[in-house]
Structure formats: structure tokens, C-alpha cells
Amino acid sequence: MNTQRPLKILQFAAEAVPFAKTGGLADVVGSLPKALKRLGHDVRVVMPRYGRISIEKFGLKRILDPFPVPLGDGTDPAAILEGTIGDDVPVYFVENHRLYDRDGIYMYPDDAERFIFFCRAGLEMCKRLGWQPDILHCHDWHTAIVPNWMKTIYKDDPFFAHTATVYTIHNLAYQGIFGFRVLEIAGVAEYGFIAHPDTADLNQVVDFMGRGILFADMINTVSERYAQEILTPEYGERLDPLLRDRRDRLFGILNGIDTETLNPATDPHIAMNFDTDTLERRGVNKAALQREAGLPEQPDTPLIGAISRLTDQKGFDLISAIIDPLMRHVGCQFVLLGTGEQRYHEMFEGLAQRYPDRMGVFLTFNAPLAQRIYAGSDMFLMPSRFEPCGLGQMIAMRYGSVPVVRATGGLADTVKDYDPRTGEGNGFSFEAYDPMALYTALVRATETYKHRDVWRQLMLRGMKADFSWTASARKYVDLYYRALATKAGEHAPEEYDVFQASEPGA
Ligand code: ADP
């Protein structure tokens, strides 16, 4: 097998930067394809054209007039518009006004139908364009029906005879669980539910994530640590028996970040650009952030930033347990940007009132403001209960904000705890999911901050680290070749160096 052959890769995703984003999935789909393209592959993306994606702003062109796409007992029309990510990665937008002309991206009662439809349209589109992909790369539950189809209704389709599937788990907690009806919508009702002896409670529902895991030629998740963790009941979200069965095809590949757009030396959204040679300029960004957040401009007070979905997954239950003593006893400021659960909105509104000189709160989704927080904060807080990869800590390091994290998933793979005895480390991390462990880590960070030379070293270490996609994109290419070999019934050659999940503790 020629592993140097350029591949044709179609990526299926529900969101992608710059068109639609609610979290890290969009960052990945907006940046991994560019890196694959640089490696010489023909990579394209397909996603829904949500009503909020402006045809004018993104210069979208219609390339296919409405054509019938099978859906349930009949068909529904899809037109295809084309745009680009970066200069030259084609993005195909599936247009269907009934399904996608709405204000939001998720949380509609017919979400299963909405995501099934764009995936089916993406496959049918390939035939109409005469573009035969080698790889269908599917991201998260919204697209997990594709590997299922490749083993059922498209199994004997000559057009896809040599097409393999890769399924990437960005977050196992969101599985897309529905009733039998969605199998009819997807056209696979005759194959019924999936019975697995160890996931009995899932045998009478349709779990899209489970189907992706069961049917994909190769599976991966977005860090090496998380690939290990999800084999255990603690992190497996009830799918760990399935994952253990499919361990031989489960890999961990750490996400990169888009180092072109996320670059403090050129970022147009921050008050002053800086790099490792002009670190002293960074203070201008801190002062600007303090002003924007209504906090006193105090250059020497450590400023903690957090940018996150406000959910328990991200450790907000831990934060809620220690935030008052932190505000009262530790001389620091805190700026939060996030949206999520109502109780956390109320909690932060209350904190902003109680500590107006210490707490700046933005309960909204605002990407430019996020850049200003990465550039202006001294430390970046991410105490997640679980974290498949996490991008915030990597973006923070690139902008010179030192991460304070819980050692789990991708956070454990990217942040090494600072050890004052050796001077090693690039941040602060703690193991136990426990409020006091978080509090102690924050006290260690704010104490270390007082030693400016040490702190400068920590900042520089983060800024100089390579978080680009280059290495990880190569690992995806390896995974694609493995998928093709599996599909062809060959054994994958030994030279592949992708991290493979093994038995926990092995
Ligand atoms: P997840 O995908 O689980 O939400 P990640 O850390 O992988 O977490 O990615 C989160 C991404 O979303 C980061 O790019 C972060 O900056 C961004 N983000 C999260 N919340 C907000 C917000 N309220 N405003 C702007 N950007 C946000």
C-alpha cells in the first residue's frame, strides 16, 4: 500500500469556525482541514447551512440546485452552497429551509432528523459532484450515522466500495440518544436496535455515539489520556464496554489550535500585539482587560481568567465551593466569560455584585472578548471534571496566560505542574476532583506569581510550545491509512505511530 498517496477526505461536522461555533468542535473542524491540505491531501468539509450563516458575508456560491435526498419514507430537497475555510479548503453547505432556517444550532426536537439529513445529503452530493472520497471523517454524534450507513444501506454501493470511515469522539458525554423513529428517518429501521450484552440500558434506544463507535473503521478521541480514560466506567459514560470491545481500533490524537489566527503577535482583537521578545507589552492588554471588566487597574494583582461553557463538566461546582474564600482571602481578580446553566449565571451575577473590585463577569458568547481575556489574564482556570482535549488551556499558553487545571484528559497531556524544586512545568495542576485541591492550586499559582522571574519563565515556556496542528495532522493521516487498510481487510502496517489505547493500567 502506498502510504504517500494523497487522499480525498470529506469531513462531516455540525459546526466549523468561522461559520458556526459553540465549542471546541468548531475550532477543530475549522483548522485540522487546513493542516491536512498543507500535507497535500484533498480535504473538504460538509455541514448544514444554518440560517445565521450569511451567504453574502462568506461569499457562498450555489453549486448544486435542490435535489431529492432520501429521508424517512420519502425525500426532502437539499441544495449545496460552497464556501471555503482559509484560502482553499472547500466547505459544502447543505441547504434546507425547513430544517436549518432557525436562530440556533442545537436543541431542537427534530435534531436527529436535521443531522441525519445533512449527512445523507453530503453522501449523495459526492455522487452528483463525481468526487469519490477515500475517507469519510465524522465528528461527534451528529454525524455518527455515516459509519452505520456504510455498513448497511451503502454497503454494496460501488461508488463507496473503497471508502473508509473514521469517527472522532470530541465529547463522549453528548451521545445523541433518541427513540426507534429516528431509525426510520435514517432508513435503517430494518436493522433494528443494537444489542450489546454489557450496555443493556442502551439496547432499547438509538444511541448515535454508540453506532459511530460500533461501525467506524477507525475511532479516535482528541487526547491520549482521554482515549485511556473512556475505557473505564468512571469516564466511559456507559459506553465503556463497547469501547473496550473496539479497543484495537481506538486511538488518541491531541487537538492542535489554529496558530495563524490565534497569534498574539498579529491578533487584531487585542489592545497591543506582543511576542516572546516583547513580553513587556503584554501589560497593556491586562490594563485594557481590567478597564473593560470594570476592575481597578492594578498591574501587580494576579488576574485569573476563565472562558467556558458553564457546566459541571468544566468544574464550576468546584469553583462555586471556593470562590468566596478566594475572593476574600487571596489577593486576586477574576474575569469570567461564559454561558450555560442558569444557576451559574445567577452565581456569577451575585459574585459580581458582592466583589465589584475583584470580579468581572460576561455572561455571553463573544470570540473577540475571549482573545482579550487570553491576552490580558495572568492565569487561566480550567478545573474540568473530565476534558477530552480542551483548547482553552492551549490558547491561553500561546497568549502567555499560565494554566491552572485539573489533571484529566487533554489537560493532563498538555499542562505539567510547576515544581519549584526543579523549575520544571508549564502551569499548575491538581489530581483529585476536590474543592480544596483546586484552592491549593490557585494559592500556589498566586504565590508563584509574586516571583516575577519564575513567572516570566512559565509564560515563555507556554508561548514557545508547539500547539500547531502539524504533528497531529500527520497522525490523522496515519489513522486514515489504517482505516483504509481495515476496510480492505488488510492488517495495518506496523510503522504507524498513532497512540493506541490499551487496557487501563496496562
Ligand atoms: P468545549 O468544546 O468542551 O466547550 P474547549 O476548551 O475544547 O471546550 O473549547 C472551547 C472553545 O470555545 C475555546 O475556543 C473557547 O475560547 C471558546 N469559548 C467557550 N466559551 C466561550 C464564550 N462564552 N465566548 C467565546 N468563546 C468561548
Residue 496 has pLDDT above 50, yes or no: no
pLDDT digits (tens, 9 = 90+) for 171-215: 999 999 999 999 999 999 999 888 788 887 778 899 999 999 999
* Residues 333-354, mean pLDDT to the nearest whole number: 98
Residues 6+ apart with CB under 8 A from 398: 257, 259, 262, 263, 264, 374, 462, 463, 465, 467
Q: Answer yes or no: is pLDDT of 491 > 60.
A: no
Helices 316-329 and 342-354, interaxial angle, to 10°? 0
* Stronger pLDDT, 123 or 498, i.e. the higher one: 123
Instruction: Decide whether any atom of ligand 1 lies within 6 Å of the 24 Cβ.
Output: yes
Alpha carbon of 24 to ligand 1 centroid (Å): 6
Share of the chain above pLDDT 90, in %: 93
Structure confidence by residue, pLDDT tens digits, 295-341: 999 999 999 999 999 999 999 999 999 999 999 999 999 999 999 99
Q: Which atom of ligand 1 is nearest to the CA of 309?
A: 20
Predicted local distance difference test score (pLDDT) of residue 444: 98
Q: pLDDT confidence of 502, banded at 50, 70, 90?
A: low
506 band by pLDDT with thresholds 50, 70 and 90: very low
Task: Identify which of 292, 308, 401 to mutate to test ligand 1's pocket (most ligand atoms within 8 A of the CB).
Answer: 308
Q: Which three cell numbers stand for residue 451?
A: 516571583
85-104 tens-digit pLDDT: 999 999 999 999 999 999 99
* pLDDT, position 2: 45
Q: Find out whether the beta carbon of 367 lies less than 6 Å from any atom of ligand 1.
A: yes
Angle at 480 between CA 256 and CA 162, to 5 degrees: 150
C-alpha 107 to ligand 1 mean position (Å):
18
What's residue 198's pLDDT? 82
The C-alpha cell of 184 is what? 426510520
H/E element, 61: strand 61-71
CA of 339 to the centre of ligand 1 (A): 10
388 lines ligand 1 (CB under 6 A): no
Q: Between the CA of residue 26 and those of 13, 82, 161, 269, 419, what are the distances in Å? A: 8, 18, 30, 19, 34
Pairing of strands 177-178, 206-207: antiparallel
- pLDDT tens for each residue of 441-462: 999 999 999 999 999 999 999 9
pLDDT tens-place string over residues 101-128: 999 999 999 999 999 999 999 999 999 9
pLDDT average, residue stretch 225-252: 96
Residue with cell 490524537: 253
> Does pLDDT of 504 surpass 50?
no
Q: How far apart are the CA of 131 and the centre of ligand 1, in A?
A: 34
| CA of 391, closest atom in ligand 1 | 6
Q: Taking all residues of the chain, what is their mean pLDDT, rounded to a whole number?
A: 95
Q: Please give the pLDDT value at position 371.
A: 98
Residue 355 has pLDDT above 60, yes or no: yes
For residue 370, how far is its CA from the centre of ligand 1 (angstroms)? Answer: 9
Using CA positions, which residue lies closest to atom 17 of ligand 1?
A: 23
Decide if pLDDT at 164 tops 90. Answer: yes
Pocket test for ligand 1, best of 307, 312, 345, 374 (most atoms within 8 A of CB): 307
pLDDT for res 1: 44
Give per-residue pLDDT as tens, 366-398.
999 999 999 999 999 999 999 999 999 999 999
DSSP state of 431: -
Residue nearest to atom 20 of ligand 1 (CA): 308
Q: Ligand 1 atom 2: the closest Cα is on which residue?
A: 24
Q: Does 376 contact ligand 1 (Cβ within 6 A)?
A: no
User: What is the distance between the alpha carbons of residues 107 and 118, in angstroms, rounded to a whole number?
Assistant: 16
Edge-to-edge, what's the strand order for the sheet holding 42-48?
A: 61-71, 74-85, 89-95, 42-48, 8-12, 135-139, 164-169, 218-221, 250-252, 499-500
459 vs 80, 154, 289, 424, 427, CA distance in Å?
Answer: 45, 51, 18, 12, 9
**Quick check: CB of 392 below 6 Å from ligand 1?**
yes
Taking CA atoms only, the protein residue closest to ligand 1 atom 24 is 365
pLDDT score of 3: 56
Secondary structure (3-state) at 352 = helix
Ligand 1: atom nearest CA of 313 is: 3
pLDDT at 323: 98
Q: Given a cut of 80, is residue 435 above it in pLDDT?
A: yes
Residue minimizing CA distance to atom 12 of ligand 1: 23
- Which residue's C-alpha comes closest to atom 22 of ligand 1? 365
pLDDT at 499: 66
Q: Is the pLDDT of residue 243 over 60?
A: yes
